[in-house]
Amino acid sequence: MSSLTLDAEALYGDLLKAMQLLMASYTEPPQLVGIASGGAWLAERLQLDLKLPGKTGTLSSSMHRDDFSSRGLASGSQTLLPFDVNGAHLIVVDD
Q: What's the pTM?
A: 0.79
Distance CA 31, CA 40 (A): 13
The list of the chain residues with pLDDT below 50 reads none
Distance CA 82, CA 13 (A): 27
Q: What is the pLDDT of residue 15?
A: 95
Distance CA 67, CA 84 (A): 31
Closest CA to 49 of 9, 85, 92, 5: 9
Q: What is the pLDDT of residue 43?
A: 96
Distance CA 31, CA 9 (A): 23
Q: What is the pLDDT of residue 4?
A: 79
Q: What is the pLDDT of residue 90?
A: 92
As to burial, measured by CB atoms within 10 angstroms (0-12 exposed, 13-18 middle, 19+ buried), residue 10 is: exposed
